[in-house]
Structure 1
Amino acid sequence: MRIRELQLHETAFLEEMLFHALFVPEGAKPFPPSIIYEPDIHKYIKDWGKTENDIAFVAEQNNKLIGVIWGRLFKESDMNYGFIDEAIPEIGMAVLAPYRNKGIGTRLIETIIRCYQNRGIKALSLSVSKQNEARKLYERAGFRVASENKSNFVMIKDIG
Protein backbone atom coordinates (compact mmCIF):
# COMPACT_ATOMS: atom_id res chain seq x y z
CA MET A 1 0.00 0.00 0.00
CA ARG A 2 1.30 3.41 -0.87
CA ILE A 3 0.11 6.96 -0.34
CA ARG A 4 0.47 9.57 -3.05
CA GLU A 5 -1.07 12.84 -4.17
CA LEU A 6 -4.46 12.68 -5.84
CA GLN A 7 -4.15 13.49 -9.53
CA LEU A 8 -6.67 15.89 -11.08
CA HIS A 9 -7.95 13.15 -13.41
CA GLU A 10 -8.91 11.15 -10.27
CA THR A 11 -11.45 13.63 -8.94
CA ALA A 12 -14.26 11.14 -9.65
CA PHE A 13 -12.73 8.99 -6.90
CA LEU A 14 -12.76 11.99 -4.58
CA GLU A 15 -16.45 12.47 -5.40
CA GLU A 16 -17.18 8.78 -4.72
CA MET A 17 -15.33 8.92 -1.42
CA LEU A 18 -17.13 12.07 -0.32
CA PHE A 19 -20.24 9.91 -0.35
CA HIS A 20 -18.48 7.22 1.73
CA ALA A 21 -17.34 9.87 4.22
CA LEU A 22 -20.95 10.70 5.10
CA PHE A 23 -21.83 8.91 8.32
CA VAL A 24 -25.10 6.99 8.49
CA PRO A 25 -25.99 5.82 12.01
CA GLU A 26 -26.81 2.17 12.44
CA GLY A 27 -30.42 1.50 11.54
CA ALA A 28 -30.85 4.81 9.71
CA LYS A 29 -31.91 5.01 6.10
CA PRO A 30 -28.86 5.43 3.81
CA PHE A 31 -28.42 8.67 1.94
CA PRO A 32 -29.13 8.69 -1.80
CA PRO A 33 -25.91 9.07 -3.86
CA SER A 34 -27.20 12.44 -5.10
CA ILE A 35 -26.72 13.93 -1.61
CA ILE A 36 -23.14 14.84 -2.50
CA TYR A 37 -24.53 17.49 -4.85
CA GLU A 38 -26.29 19.31 -2.02
CA PRO A 39 -24.49 22.68 -1.74
CA ASP A 40 -23.38 22.21 1.91
CA ILE A 41 -21.76 18.90 1.00
CA HIS A 42 -20.57 19.51 -2.55
CA LYS A 43 -18.56 22.56 -1.46
CA TYR A 44 -15.99 20.14 0.01
CA ILE A 45 -14.89 19.06 -3.48
CA LYS A 46 -16.46 21.51 -5.94
CA ASP A 47 -13.93 22.81 -8.51
CA TRP A 48 -11.27 20.67 -6.86
CA GLY A 49 -7.66 21.76 -7.30
CA LYS A 50 -8.35 25.37 -8.25
CA THR A 51 -6.56 26.72 -5.17
CA GLU A 52 -3.12 25.90 -3.83
CA ASN A 53 -4.56 24.87 -0.47
CA ASP A 54 -6.73 22.11 -1.96
CA ILE A 55 -4.72 19.10 -0.78
CA ALA A 56 -5.60 15.45 -1.31
CA PHE A 57 -3.78 12.16 -0.95
CA VAL A 58 -4.94 8.69 -1.94
CA ALA A 59 -4.09 5.29 -0.56
CA GLU A 60 -3.44 2.82 -3.36
CA GLN A 61 -3.01 -0.94 -3.19
CA ASN A 62 -2.32 -3.12 -6.22
CA ASN A 63 -3.16 -0.16 -8.50
CA LYS A 64 -6.57 0.25 -6.83
CA LEU A 65 -7.53 3.43 -4.98
CA ILE A 66 -8.76 2.42 -1.53
CA GLY A 67 -8.84 5.62 0.51
CA VAL A 68 -8.48 9.37 0.36
CA ILE A 69 -7.93 12.33 2.64
CA TRP A 70 -8.48 15.89 1.53
CA GLY A 71 -8.40 19.37 2.96
CA ARG A 72 -9.67 22.76 1.93
CA LEU A 73 -9.76 26.28 3.34
CA PHE A 74 -13.15 27.95 3.60
CA LYS A 75 -14.15 31.58 4.01
CA GLU A 76 -16.26 32.50 7.03
CA SER A 77 -19.04 33.43 4.61
CA ASP A 78 -18.93 29.86 3.26
CA MET A 79 -18.29 28.03 6.53
CA ASN A 80 -19.49 24.50 6.96
CA TYR A 81 -19.65 21.64 9.44
CA GLY A 82 -16.05 21.62 10.71
CA PHE A 83 -15.20 25.28 10.21
CA ILE A 84 -13.10 27.00 12.88
CA ASP A 85 -11.54 29.91 10.98
CA GLU A 86 -10.29 30.94 7.56
CA ALA A 87 -6.68 29.95 8.31
CA ILE A 88 -7.51 26.36 9.32
CA PRO A 89 -8.21 23.84 6.55
CA GLU A 90 -11.09 21.47 7.14
CA ILE A 91 -10.24 17.88 6.28
CA GLY A 92 -12.33 14.90 5.26
CA MET A 93 -11.41 11.32 4.65
CA ALA A 94 -12.76 7.91 3.77
CA VAL A 95 -11.31 4.43 3.41
CA LEU A 96 -13.22 1.71 1.61
CA ALA A 97 -14.80 -0.72 4.11
CA PRO A 98 -12.63 -3.79 3.37
CA TYR A 99 -9.48 -1.76 4.10
CA ARG A 100 -10.49 -0.13 7.38
CA ASN A 101 -8.75 -0.81 10.70
CA LYS A 102 -5.45 -1.55 8.96
CA GLY A 103 -3.63 1.71 9.73
CA ILE A 104 -4.45 3.34 6.38
CA GLY A 105 -6.43 6.19 7.93
CA THR A 106 -3.58 6.93 10.32
CA ARG A 107 -1.09 7.09 7.47
CA LEU A 108 -3.39 9.36 5.45
CA ILE A 109 -3.75 11.74 8.40
CA GLU A 110 0.01 11.80 9.01
CA THR A 111 0.61 12.56 5.33
CA ILE A 112 -1.78 15.50 5.10
CA ILE A 113 -0.47 16.91 8.39
CA ARG A 114 3.11 16.91 7.05
CA CYS A 115 1.98 18.53 3.81
CA TYR A 116 0.11 21.34 5.53
CA GLN A 117 2.96 21.84 8.04
CA ASN A 118 5.31 22.35 5.09
CA ARG A 119 2.93 25.06 3.85
CA GLY A 120 2.95 26.88 7.17
CA ILE A 121 -0.56 25.87 8.24
CA LYS A 122 -0.90 25.87 12.04
CA ALA A 123 -3.96 23.64 12.61
CA LEU A 124 -6.50 21.35 10.94
CA SER A 125 -10.18 20.82 11.72
CA LEU A 126 -12.85 18.27 10.95
CA SER A 127 -16.40 17.39 11.81
CA VAL A 128 -17.36 13.91 13.00
CA SER A 129 -20.59 12.39 14.24
CA LYS A 130 -20.56 11.54 17.93
CA GLN A 131 -21.67 8.03 16.92
CA ASN A 132 -18.93 7.52 14.32
CA GLU A 133 -16.17 5.11 15.38
CA ALA A 134 -13.72 7.17 13.27
CA ARG A 135 -13.74 9.67 16.13
CA LYS A 136 -11.36 7.33 17.99
CA LEU A 137 -8.92 7.47 15.06
CA TYR A 138 -8.97 11.26 15.14
CA GLU A 139 -8.42 11.29 18.90
CA ARG A 140 -5.44 8.92 18.55
CA ALA A 141 -4.06 11.28 15.88
CA GLY A 142 -4.21 14.15 18.39
CA PHE A 143 -7.44 15.89 17.42
CA ARG A 144 -9.42 17.32 20.32
CA VAL A 145 -12.99 18.56 20.58
CA ALA A 146 -13.24 22.29 19.89
CA SER A 147 -17.05 22.49 19.92
CA GLU A 148 -20.09 20.28 19.62
CA ASN A 149 -23.76 20.24 18.85
CA LYS A 150 -26.41 17.60 19.47
CA SER A 151 -24.93 15.07 17.04
CA ASN A 152 -21.42 16.17 15.97
CA PHE A 153 -18.04 17.20 17.27
CA VAL A 154 -15.87 19.80 15.58
CA MET A 155 -12.31 18.68 16.27
CA ILE A 156 -9.01 20.53 15.90
CA LYS A 157 -5.37 19.52 15.83
CA ASP A 158 -2.57 22.00 16.26
CA ILE A 159 0.18 21.15 13.76
CA GLY A 160 2.33 24.30 13.67
Structure 2
Amino acid sequence: MPAKLGVPVAAYWGIRRCAVSLGSFFDVALAALWAPMQRLAWQEYSFQLHCKGMSKTSNKFDFRATNERDVSYIARLNFLTDTFGDEHGELSKGFDQDTDFYVHSWKPEDGVIIFDQHFIPAGGIWWTWGDEQHHGRGFVDAAYPEIAIAVEARFGGMGLAGELFRRCFERLETEGVPGVSLCVSDDNDRARNVYERMGFELVRQSDEGYQVMQKVF
Protein backbone atom coordinates (compact mmCIF):
# COMPACT_ATOMS: atom_id res chain seq x y z
CA MET A 1 0.00 0.00 0.00
CA PRO A 2 1.38 3.45 -0.92
CA ALA A 3 2.60 5.50 2.00
CA LYS A 4 0.49 8.56 1.13
CA LEU A 5 -3.04 7.40 0.41
CA GLY A 6 -4.56 10.29 2.33
CA VAL A 7 -7.29 10.87 4.88
CA PRO A 8 -9.76 8.11 3.83
CA VAL A 9 -7.26 5.33 4.48
CA ALA A 10 -5.99 6.83 7.73
CA ALA A 11 -9.57 7.20 8.93
CA TYR A 12 -10.32 3.58 8.17
CA TRP A 13 -7.37 2.19 10.10
CA GLY A 14 -8.01 4.51 13.04
CA ILE A 15 -11.57 3.20 13.31
CA ARG A 16 -10.41 -0.39 12.72
CA ARG A 17 -8.01 -0.31 15.67
CA CYS A 18 -10.76 0.97 17.97
CA ALA A 19 -13.27 -1.62 16.82
CA VAL A 20 -11.11 -4.74 16.57
CA SER A 21 -12.14 -6.01 20.00
CA LEU A 22 -15.88 -5.50 19.47
CA GLY A 23 -16.56 -8.50 17.29
CA SER A 24 -17.52 -9.47 13.78
CA PHE A 25 -20.34 -6.92 13.47
CA PHE A 26 -17.80 -4.13 13.13
CA ASP A 27 -15.74 -6.23 10.74
CA VAL A 28 -18.71 -6.47 8.38
CA ALA A 29 -19.59 -2.78 8.72
CA LEU A 30 -16.01 -1.64 8.20
CA ALA A 31 -15.57 -3.94 5.22
CA ALA A 32 -18.46 -2.13 3.55
CA LEU A 33 -16.96 1.23 4.49
CA TRP A 34 -13.49 0.31 3.27
CA ALA A 35 -14.34 -0.24 -0.41
CA PRO A 36 -15.40 3.34 -1.27
CA MET A 37 -12.57 4.77 0.86
CA GLN A 38 -10.07 2.62 -0.97
CA ARG A 39 -11.39 3.68 -4.37
CA LEU A 40 -11.18 7.38 -3.49
CA ALA A 41 -7.66 7.03 -2.12
CA TRP A 42 -6.40 5.12 -5.15
CA GLN A 43 -8.01 7.59 -7.56
CA GLU A 44 -6.15 10.46 -5.91
CA TYR A 45 -2.88 8.54 -5.71
CA SER A 46 -3.08 7.31 -9.31
CA PHE A 47 -3.81 10.81 -10.61
CA GLN A 48 -0.77 12.22 -8.78
CA LEU A 49 1.37 9.46 -10.28
CA HIS A 50 -0.01 10.25 -13.73
CA CYS A 51 0.83 13.93 -13.38
CA LYS A 52 4.29 13.14 -12.05
CA GLY A 53 5.03 10.96 -15.02
CA MET A 54 3.69 13.34 -17.67
CA SER A 55 4.73 16.80 -16.46
CA LYS A 56 8.17 18.19 -17.17
CA THR A 57 7.72 21.09 -14.76
CA SER A 58 5.60 19.75 -11.91
CA ASN A 59 4.77 16.51 -10.14
CA LYS A 60 1.74 17.62 -8.21
CA PHE A 61 -1.44 19.55 -8.91
CA ASP A 62 -3.80 21.06 -6.38
CA PHE A 63 -7.50 21.41 -7.17
CA ARG A 64 -9.69 23.81 -5.24
CA ALA A 65 -13.11 25.38 -5.44
CA THR A 66 -13.23 28.89 -6.84
CA ASN A 67 -14.03 31.98 -4.80
CA GLU A 68 -14.53 35.71 -5.33
CA ARG A 69 -10.78 36.28 -5.78
CA ASP A 70 -10.72 34.13 -8.91
CA VAL A 71 -12.86 36.26 -11.21
CA SER A 72 -9.80 37.60 -13.08
CA TYR A 73 -8.56 34.08 -13.77
CA ILE A 74 -12.02 32.97 -14.87
CA ALA A 75 -11.95 35.90 -17.31
CA ARG A 76 -8.62 34.63 -18.65
CA LEU A 77 -9.98 31.10 -19.05
CA ASN A 78 -13.00 32.53 -20.85
CA PHE A 79 -10.59 34.25 -23.25
CA LEU A 80 -8.78 30.95 -23.86
CA THR A 81 -12.02 29.15 -24.66
CA ASP A 82 -12.80 31.81 -27.26
CA THR A 83 -9.41 31.57 -29.01
CA PHE A 84 -9.04 27.77 -28.65
CA GLY A 85 -6.12 28.36 -26.31
CA ASP A 86 -4.22 30.65 -28.70
CA GLU A 87 -2.70 33.52 -26.71
CA HIS A 88 -2.57 35.66 -29.87
CA GLY A 89 -5.81 34.44 -31.39
CA GLU A 90 -8.44 36.82 -32.73
CA LEU A 91 -11.54 37.23 -30.58
CA SER A 92 -14.85 36.00 -31.94
CA LYS A 93 -17.58 38.48 -32.86
CA GLY A 94 -19.68 37.42 -29.88
CA PHE A 95 -16.89 37.56 -27.30
CA ASP A 96 -18.23 40.54 -25.34
CA GLN A 97 -21.72 39.07 -25.15
CA ASP A 98 -20.30 35.71 -24.04
CA THR A 99 -18.19 37.44 -21.39
CA ASP A 100 -21.26 39.18 -20.01
CA PHE A 101 -22.78 35.80 -19.22
CA TYR A 102 -19.89 33.40 -18.60
CA VAL A 103 -17.87 35.85 -16.49
CA HIS A 104 -20.07 38.69 -15.23
CA SER A 105 -23.01 36.38 -14.38
CA TRP A 106 -20.79 33.72 -12.82
CA LYS A 107 -21.11 32.97 -9.10
CA PRO A 108 -17.72 32.79 -7.33
CA GLU A 109 -18.35 29.38 -5.76
CA ASP A 110 -19.28 27.68 -9.05
CA GLY A 111 -16.00 26.32 -10.33
CA VAL A 112 -12.78 24.38 -9.80
CA ILE A 113 -9.29 25.60 -10.67
CA ILE A 114 -5.88 23.92 -10.71
CA PHE A 115 -2.43 25.02 -9.61
CA ASP A 116 0.85 23.19 -9.93
CA GLN A 117 3.33 22.85 -7.07
CA HIS A 118 4.77 26.28 -7.86
CA PHE A 119 1.30 27.83 -7.60
CA ILE A 120 1.20 28.39 -11.36
CA PRO A 121 -2.43 28.32 -12.59
CA ALA A 122 -2.96 25.33 -14.88
CA GLY A 123 -6.62 25.69 -15.87
CA GLY A 124 -10.13 25.39 -14.58
CA ILE A 125 -13.76 24.54 -15.12
CA TRP A 126 -16.70 26.73 -14.16
CA TRP A 127 -20.45 26.79 -14.60
CA THR A 128 -23.04 29.52 -14.95
CA TRP A 129 -26.79 29.36 -14.42
CA GLY A 130 -29.02 30.87 -17.08
CA ASP A 131 -32.72 31.15 -17.86
CA GLU A 132 -34.88 31.89 -20.88
CA GLN A 133 -34.16 35.61 -20.64
CA HIS A 134 -30.44 35.54 -19.90
CA HIS A 135 -28.16 32.71 -20.94
CA GLY A 136 -25.12 31.73 -22.96
CA ARG A 137 -24.77 29.90 -26.24
CA GLY A 138 -24.89 26.49 -24.58
CA PHE A 139 -28.26 26.98 -22.88
CA VAL A 140 -30.63 24.00 -22.80
CA ASP A 141 -32.75 24.41 -19.69
CA ALA A 142 -32.65 26.48 -16.49
CA ALA A 143 -32.04 23.29 -14.49
CA TYR A 144 -28.80 22.60 -16.39
CA PRO A 145 -25.89 24.99 -15.78
CA GLU A 146 -23.67 25.85 -18.73
CA ILE A 147 -20.07 24.83 -18.20
CA ALA A 148 -16.83 26.05 -19.73
CA ILE A 149 -13.35 24.61 -19.39
CA ALA A 150 -9.81 25.56 -20.35
CA VAL A 151 -6.34 24.19 -19.62
CA GLU A 152 -3.21 26.31 -19.99
CA ALA A 153 -1.16 25.25 -23.04
CA ARG A 154 1.95 24.35 -21.03
CA PHE A 155 -0.09 21.78 -19.08
CA GLY A 156 -1.83 20.18 -22.05
CA GLY A 157 -1.80 16.42 -22.51
CA MET A 158 -1.66 15.60 -18.78
CA GLY A 159 -5.25 14.50 -18.28
CA LEU A 160 -6.22 17.66 -16.42
CA ALA A 161 -9.36 18.30 -18.46
CA GLY A 162 -10.72 14.86 -17.66
CA GLU A 163 -10.02 15.33 -13.97
CA LEU A 164 -11.71 18.74 -14.00
CA PHE A 165 -14.78 17.24 -15.64
CA ARG A 166 -14.87 14.41 -13.11
CA ARG A 167 -14.76 16.75 -10.14
CA CYS A 168 -17.37 19.05 -11.67
CA PHE A 169 -19.76 16.18 -12.39
CA GLU A 170 -19.35 14.64 -8.94
CA ARG A 171 -19.99 17.91 -7.17
CA LEU A 172 -23.04 18.92 -9.20
CA GLU A 173 -24.55 15.45 -9.08
CA THR A 174 -24.13 15.44 -5.30
CA GLU A 175 -26.01 18.75 -5.19
CA GLY A 176 -28.91 17.23 -7.11
CA VAL A 177 -28.23 18.89 -10.46
CA PRO A 178 -29.60 16.69 -13.30
CA GLY A 179 -26.85 17.47 -15.79
CA VAL A 180 -24.87 20.14 -17.63
CA SER A 181 -24.67 21.70 -21.07
CA LEU A 182 -22.10 23.56 -23.15
CA CYS A 183 -21.40 24.86 -26.63
CA VAL A 184 -18.53 24.06 -28.94
CA SER A 185 -17.47 25.72 -32.17
CA ASP A 186 -17.88 23.75 -35.39
CA ASP A 187 -14.17 24.41 -36.00
CA ASN A 188 -13.05 22.93 -32.67
CA ASP A 189 -12.98 19.21 -33.46
CA ARG A 190 -10.48 18.48 -30.70
CA ALA A 191 -12.71 19.89 -27.96
CA ARG A 192 -15.81 18.22 -29.37
CA ASN A 193 -14.08 14.84 -29.32
CA VAL A 194 -13.17 15.36 -25.66
CA TYR A 195 -16.75 16.29 -24.79
CA GLU A 196 -18.10 13.21 -26.54
CA ARG A 197 -15.71 11.00 -24.58
CA MET A 198 -16.99 12.63 -21.39
CA GLY A 199 -20.56 11.64 -22.26
CA PHE A 200 -21.91 14.79 -23.92
CA GLU A 201 -24.45 14.37 -26.71
CA LEU A 202 -25.57 16.76 -29.42
CA VAL A 203 -28.74 18.72 -28.64
CA ARG A 204 -28.84 21.07 -31.60
CA GLN A 205 -26.76 22.62 -34.34
CA SER A 206 -26.73 26.41 -34.42
CA ASP A 207 -26.77 28.40 -37.65
CA GLU A 208 -24.05 30.58 -36.11
CA GLY A 209 -21.33 27.93 -36.32
CA TYR A 210 -21.49 26.03 -33.04
CA GLN A 211 -23.12 22.99 -31.48
CA VAL A 212 -24.98 22.74 -28.20
CA MET A 213 -24.24 19.57 -26.22
CA GLN A 214 -25.65 18.13 -23.02
CA LYS A 215 -24.68 15.52 -20.44
CA VAL A 216 -27.33 13.99 -18.20
CA PHE A 217 -26.08 12.51 -14.93
> Cα offset for 1:47?
5.0
Match of 2:55 in 1: none
- Relative to structure 1, the CA distance from residue 36 to residue 107 in structure 2 (aligned partners, 3 Å threshold; closer, same or farther) is farther
Give per-residue Cα distances to partners, 1:49-99, cap 9 Å, x unaligned. Answer: 26xxx5110011121111010001101111320000111100001111111
Alignment correspondent of 1:58: 113
- Cα shift at 1:37: 7.1
Q: Is the 8 A contact 2:106 2:127 kept in 1?
A: no
Partner of 2:157: 101
Q: Report the identity percentage.
A: 25
Shift of 1:123: 1.0
- Cα distance in 1, alignment partners of residues 202 and 181 from structure 2: 10
Partner of 2:202: 145
1:12 aligns with 72
Q: Is the 8 A contact 2:114 2:122 kept in 1?
A: yes
Larger Rg: 2
- Displacement, 1:36? 8.7
**Are the equivalent residues in 2 in contact too, given 1:58–1:67 (CA < 8 A)?**
yes
- The answer to which structure, 1 or 2, has the higher relative contact order (CA under 8 A, 6+ apart) is 1
Which whole-Å CA distance do the structure 1 matches of 2:103 and 2:192 have between them? Answer: 22
The range that moved more, 6-15 or 81-90, is 6-15
> Separation in 1 of the partners of 2:141 and 2:115?
32
Query: Are the aligned partners of 2:105 and 2:128 in contact in 1 as well (CA < 8 Å)?
Result: no
Inter-CA distance 2–71: structure 2 relative to 1 (3 Å threshold): same
Q: TM-score, normalised by structure 2?
A: 0.64
Rounded to whole Å, the distance in 1 between the matches of 2:101 and 2:64 is 23
| Gaps in structure 1 of 5+ consecutive residues | none
Give the whole-Å Cα distance in 2 for the aligned partners of 1:87 and 1:110.
19
Q: What RMSD over aligned residues (CA atoms) do the two structures have, in Å?
A: 2.3
Q: Please identify which structure carries the higher strand content.
A: 1
Per-residue deviation, residues 21-49 of structure 1 (Å, max 9, x unmatched): 1145x9xx6128xx897233321111542
- Aligned-partner Cα distance in 2 for 1:17–1:80: 16
